[in-house]
A and B are shown apart, each in its own frame.
Chain A
C-alpha cells in the first residue's frame, strides 16, 4: 500500500542552513555546507505577551512552519497540522528538574505550561488563529518519519491540506551528555491531497526493510545522524534536485520509509 500527497511548500532551519532556498542550493551541490550555530528569531506572529514566553523549541517550530506555509500560500484557517519532535523544550525540562531537586521545589507556572510536548502546536494555533486540529507526536530518533506518515495519511484519508513540522532542539548539561543533540534543526512541509499550481512534487511513501540512504556530503551526513529531524534530509535533497527519484529514510529499527518523488514542473 502506497500513500501519496503533494508537497506545496518547504521550510528549513538548522546549523548552517538559514532557509529552504539556501538549503536547496547546499543539498543540490551549488553551495558548500559549513556548519554554524542555528540562529532563532523571536516569532513575530505571536502577540507580545506570548512572544516573551517562547523558548527555542517554539521559535524553531514556528519559523519553519511560517516559511513552508508562506511558500505554499496555504489557507491557514483550513490547514491541519502535525508537530513531531524527539522531545519537548529541553531547557524548560532542565529548569523544572533542577527546581524539583531543591527543597523549596518552586516550579514556575509559565515554564510548566510551556513544558508540554504540544507547546509549539498551541502557539502555532494562537499565532494563526486557526482552530483546525494539531497532532503532536514523539518517536525519539524516528520522529521525522512518524510525522511524515501521520501527515500524509491525514492528507490522503481526510482529504485535507496538512502542515508537517519536524523539529528538535538541544538539552543543556547534564542531560546533554545523555542525549547529545548538538543544535536546533527543523523541517516543515505543506501537503495537499490534490495537485495545484503550487505543487512542487508528488510524494509516495511505503514502509520498507531496506536500509536508509546517506548523504554524499560529509557535513550534511553528520547532521543527518546527529539530529532526528535531519533524517528527512535525503528527501529534501531529492526535492532540491528537482528530478524524479527514490530515497529511503531512517525510521525504526524494524522498518524504514521508502519515498518516491515526482516533480510537478
Chain B
C-alpha cells in the first residue's frame, strides 16, 4: 500500500489527557487504573476513567448529542491543538474531500441504560428527553465529529468490537487510495458504561485486580475508556524525518468463536502477515510490537503463539493495557498514538502491573521501559466475533 502521513494526532485515556501527560505516564511506567467507582456499578474490578468527562460540555449547537461518549470525543479533540489542526486541514482540502471514520463499540449506550431506569411506570415509555439517534446509536460519535468539523464527505462508524478503531485506518486508506477523498479524520471513542462492565463480568473476563497482561497469574481485563484521533493524508514530497507514517494495514477473521480467540492465533497471525505484506516489510523489520495483550489467559496465549510463529522469540513486545485498561473500540486508535510516541521518543513502554511473565508464553514480553531507536512498530487489535487488525507505523526518515 502507499503509506499515509499522520499529519496530527492526539489521545486521551486514564493515563493522561493529550500527548504530554500520556508520554509522561509511559516514561514513568505509571498506570491510571483504579478500583471501580463508576456510576452505580457494584463490581469488584478496576477501571480506567478519563478525568473530567462529566464536566466536559459540547458546543451549544450540538446539545442533542450530549452523552458521555460524545463528551469524551470532544474532550479528546480539544487536546494537542488537534481541533485547530483538523479545522485548518478541512479548510485546505475542502469539506467535500474529507472523510470521517470513527471506531466505537458501545457509543452512547449509557444514555439508554439510564433512560431504562426512568421508564413511565404505566406505559413503560422512555423519557421524552431521551434522544436515541445522536446518543445511543452506534453512528452518533462519527455524526458528532463530522458535524463538529462541518465535513461534507463520507462518514462512518466502524464497529468491530475491540478492533474497531484499528480498522478505521484500513477503511480510510482504501477511500483515499480510490480517490474518493484526499484526507481522513480517523479515530476511536469508547466510554465507560454498564453494558461492558457487567457484560465482561458475566463472561468472567474481567479481573478483580488491575489487569496483568502476559503475567503467569493474569486473570482478565480492566475496562478503560479513551478518545484518540489522527488526521491522515497522502505523503507529501517532503516530510520531517520524525513524521509518522501508516505503512501497513492487515485484517483477517478467526472464523472460530464469537468470544474466544483461535487457540493457535491463526487469525492474528494472518492479520500481522497481511500488514507486513501491505508495508512490503519482513518480520525482522519490526522493532517493537504493541500487543493487543488484554490480560485474559486465552487472549494472551493465542497472541503469543501467533507472534512467535511469525517473529520468533526475540522481537520486544508489550501491552500498554496495564496502564490504560482495555479501551475496547478506542484501543486501536489509542495504541496507534502510543506507537507513534514509541517511534518519536525511542521508547518501548514496558508492561505495567505484570510482575512475573508467564514462562509458557514464548513472545519476548518486556516489563521495563526500554530506550532504543524504534523505526517501525506493529500494533495489534483483536475483537469479539474473531475480528483482527494489525497496523504498522514507521518514521518518514
Least CB distance, B112 to chain A, in whole angstroms: 5
> What are 11 A-B pairs with beta-carbon distances under 8 A?
A97-B116, A100-B195, A105-B198, A109-B199, A115-B199, A116-B385, A118-B160, A134-B385, A154-B174, A174-B119, A252-B154
Q: Determine whether B325 belongs to the interface, using a CB cutoff of 8 Å to chain A.
A: no
Q: Is the CB of A174 within 8 A of B124?
A: yes
Q: Determine whether A211 belongs to the interface, using a CB cutoff of 8 Å to chain B.
A: no
Q: Is the CB of A100 within 8 A of B194?
A: yes
Q: Is the CB of A157 within 8 A of B174?
A: yes
Q: Is the CB of A139 within 8 A of B155?
A: yes
Residues on A close to B: CB < 8 A? 1, 3, 50, 53, 86-88, 93, 96-101, 105-109, 112-119, 121-123, 125-126, 128-140, 142-143, 146, 149-150, 153-154, 156-158, 173-175, 177-179, 207, 252, 254-255
Contact A138 B159, CB 8 Å, known A128-B255, A132-B253, A255-B153: yes
Q: Is the CB of A146 within 8 A of B259?
A: no
- Tally A-B pairs: CB < 8 A: 211
Contact A254 B253, CB 8 Å, known A117-B159, A122-B258, A138-B137: no
Least CB distance, A223 to chain B, in whole angstroms: 20
Chain B 139-151, CB within 8 Å of chain A: the 1/0 string? 1101100100001
Q: Is the CB of B255 within 8 A of A101?
A: no
Q: Determine whether B251 belongs to the interface, using a CB cutoff of 8 Å to chain A.
A: yes
Q: Is the CB of B159 within 8 A of A207?
A: no
Contact A133 B126, CB 8 Å, known A109-B203, A116-B384, A122-B387: no
Q: Determine whether B304 belongs to the interface, using a CB cutoff of 8 Å to chain A.
A: no
Q: Determine whether B178 belongs to the interface, using a CB cutoff of 8 Å to chain A.
A: yes
Contact A105 B203, CB 8 Å, known A131-B252, A149-B180, A156-B178: no
Least CB distance, A182 to chain B, in whole angstroms: 16
Q: Is the CB of A150 within 8 A of B259?
A: no
Bound-state Cα–Cα, A60 to B203, Å: 26
Hey, which chain B residues are within 8 Å of A53, CB to CB? 258
Contact A139 B126, CB 8 Å, known A97-B113, A116-B384, A118-B387: no
Q: Is the CB of B194 within 8 A of A105?
A: yes
Interface centre among A53, A138, A142, A154 (most CB of B within 10 A): A138
Contact A136 B159, CB 8 Å, known A130-B255, A131-B267, A153-B175: yes
Q: Is the CB of A131 within 8 A of B270?
A: yes
Please name the residue on chain A nearest to B119 by beta carbon.
A174
Please name the residue on chain A nearest to B258 by beta carbon.
A113
Chain B 145-175, CB within 8 Å of chain A: the 1/0 string? 0100001111111111100000100110011
Chain B 177-208, CB within 8 Å of chain A: the 1/0 string? 11110000000000000110011111110000
Q: Is the CB of A119 within 8 A of B116?
A: no
Q: Is the CB of B138 within 8 A of A87?
A: yes
Q: Is the CB of A132 within 8 A of B113?
A: no
Contact A146 B154, CB 8 Å, known A131-B270, A157-B177, A174-B126: yes
Q: Is the CB of A136 within 8 A of B387?
A: yes
Q: Is the CB of B161 within 8 A of A178?
A: no
Q: Is the CB of B202 within 8 A of A109?
A: yes
Q: Is the CB of A140 within 8 A of B160?
A: no
Least CB distance, A82 to chain B, in whole angstroms: 9
